[in-house]
């Protein structure tokens, strides 16, 4: 029977960083077993598993099963750019919502420490100093020397500069201040890859990657995994009162891709698919941007965070600069954004990020976020975007059970 309400019962993320002693199966298994323990259930209770590892093998889910338990359930191996983890979670949610099972498991894992600069396809750039077009997409991919729109820093640098050109106020200093906020938030997150405060001047004077993004303004390639257990509302009512208390309601689970547009095919449009996803998420959940107590958004670069204030409708259209300058996005502000430290500090093991962002929101809604806790948090939003293109948004609410 189809389920109306879906809850996150258990969730876990490993520490993000460099794990030289663990491979993707080790990291994913740690996350899965811990998420099951957090939810008070076992692999025997799972009716579906969805696993993502963008840079790894296609059968990652089955490889993880060999470590955590093989029960014959269907396994979906997911690959959807930086939205891979969110897509894996949505896969499990859809199976439970359709009534195929009472509980499902989603996991995302990546080993990215030391891979260097990622290109548009999520692969490390080659060491050659000369760019050679190849293949259908390579023949038309724009490149600007070593750093261009064939790389993520170049793409999102242009996205931020375009916003500033259109609306004004998006200066180099402003982007550095956004990064300063996230690095400050990271000092309260022991699971972040980097938990170090950085001043605006330190950020501005660091190595320039692609103007206006310096190195501290870029997401950190690292290793990590995150996993979540979802359960139907009907099944949840049969579990203990403690499990019910800690369960987090999934009020909206949205995934979008680019619509057709009569537009330039050179610079990816990261704005439209996010705005469409946000509209759908608010409509599905009945929640408005003003209801959100915290937001974990995809700050793959400081420039991306700015435009997503607007895309997620946290501010009036064109008002992202004023919104940030108001102080709203600090953890002490009215709309705290990336209290985890964001991808710039927490790190970005690609397939894990979508679930890790949800992990952060869930812990605030449970009141379990420790010193970085947003007091009284009841509603939160987790957002990821992957070029290719995909945007995943989940609206989460504190359990009323």
Structural domains of the chain sorted by starting position, each given as residue range(s) with its CATH number in brackets: 6-114+221-398 (3.40.47.10)
Question: From CA 292, how far away is CA 377, in angstroms rounded?
Answer: 8
pLDDT tens sequence across 293-331: 999 999 999 999 999 999 999 999 999 999 999 999 999
Report the percentage of the chain scoring pLDDT > 90.
81
> In 122-160, which positions are buried (b, 16+ CB within 10 angstroms) versus exposed (e)?
beebeeeeebeeeeeeeeebebeeebbbbbbbbbbbbbb
CA 349 vs. chain centroid, Å, equals 10
Contact 376, 357 (CB under 8 A): no
The strand order across the sheet containing 248-256 reads 75-78, 49-52, 103-111, 223-232, 6-13, 248-256, 390-398, 379-386, 294-296
Please list, in sequence order, all residues whose beta carbon lies within 8 angstroms of the beta carbon of residue 332, skipping any fewer than 6 positions away.
Answer: none
pLDDT tens sequence across 121-158: 455 555 555 555 555 555 444 434 344 556 788 889 98
Which position has the higher pLDDT, 260 or 183? 183
CA 91 vs. chain centroid, Å, equals 16
Question: Sign of dihedral through CA atoms 367, 371, 375, 378?
Answer: negative
pLDDT at 141: 46
Please list, in sequence order, all residues whose beta carbon lies within 8 angstroms of the beta carbon of residue 152, skipping any fewer than 6 positions away.
Answer: 118, 119, 120, 300, 301, 387
Short-list 392, 384, 353, 358, CA closest to 7: 358
pLDDT tens sequence across 254-267: 999 988 887 655 56
pLDDT above 60: residue 343: yes
Encoded tokens for 89: 């979670």
Contact 318, 312 (CB under 8 A): no
């Amino acid at each position: 029977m189809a389920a109306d309400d879906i809850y996150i019962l258990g969730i876990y993320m490993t520490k993000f960083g460099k794990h030289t002693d663990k491979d993707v199966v080790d990291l994913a298994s740690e996350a899965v077993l811990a998420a099951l323990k957090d939810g008070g259930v076992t692999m025997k209770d799972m009716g579906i598993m969805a696993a993502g590892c963008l840079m790894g093998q296609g059968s990652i889910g089955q490889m993880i099963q060999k470590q955590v338990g093989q029960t014959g359930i269907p396994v979906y191996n997911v690959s959807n750019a930086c939205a891979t983890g969110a897509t894996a979670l949505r896969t499990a949610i859809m199976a439970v919502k359709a009534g195929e099972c009472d509980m499902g498991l989603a996991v995302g894992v990546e080993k990215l420490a030391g891979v260097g600069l990622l290109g548009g396809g999520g692969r490390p750039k080659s060491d050659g100093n000369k760019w050679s077009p190849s293949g259908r997409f390579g023949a038309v991919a724009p490149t600007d020397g070593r750093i261009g729109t064939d790389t993520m820093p170049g793409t999102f640098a242009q996205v931020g500069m375009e916003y500033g050109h259109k609306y004004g106020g998006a200066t180099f200093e402003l982007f550095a201040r956004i990064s300063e906020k996230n690095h400050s938030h990271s000092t309260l997150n022991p699971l972040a890859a980097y938990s170090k405060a950085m001043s605006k001047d330190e950020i501005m004077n660091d190595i320039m990657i692609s103007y206006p993004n310096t190195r501290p303004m870029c997401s950190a390639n690292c290793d990590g995994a995150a996993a979540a257990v979802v359960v139907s509302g009907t099944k949840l009512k049969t579990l203990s009162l403690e499990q019910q208390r800690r369960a987090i309601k999934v009020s909206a689970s949205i995934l979008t891709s680019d619509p057709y547009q009569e537009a330039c095919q050179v610079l990816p449009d990261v704005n439209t698919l996010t705005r469409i996803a946000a509209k759908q998420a608010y409509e599905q959940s009945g929640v408005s941007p003003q209801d959100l107590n915290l937001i974990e958004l995809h700050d793959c670069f400081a420039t991306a965070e700015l435009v997503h204030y607007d895309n997620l409708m946290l501010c009036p259209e064109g008002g992202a600069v004023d919104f940030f300058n108001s102080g709203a996005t600090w953890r002490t502000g009215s709309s705290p954004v990336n209290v985890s430290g964001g991808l710039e500090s927490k790190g970005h093991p690609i397939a894990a990020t979508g679930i890790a962002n949800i992990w952060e929101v869930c812990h605030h809604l449970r009141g379990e976020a420790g010193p970085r806790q947003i007091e009284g948090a009841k509603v939160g939003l987790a957002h990821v975007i992957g070029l290719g293109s995909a945007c995943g948004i989940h609206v989460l609410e504190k359990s009323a059970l």
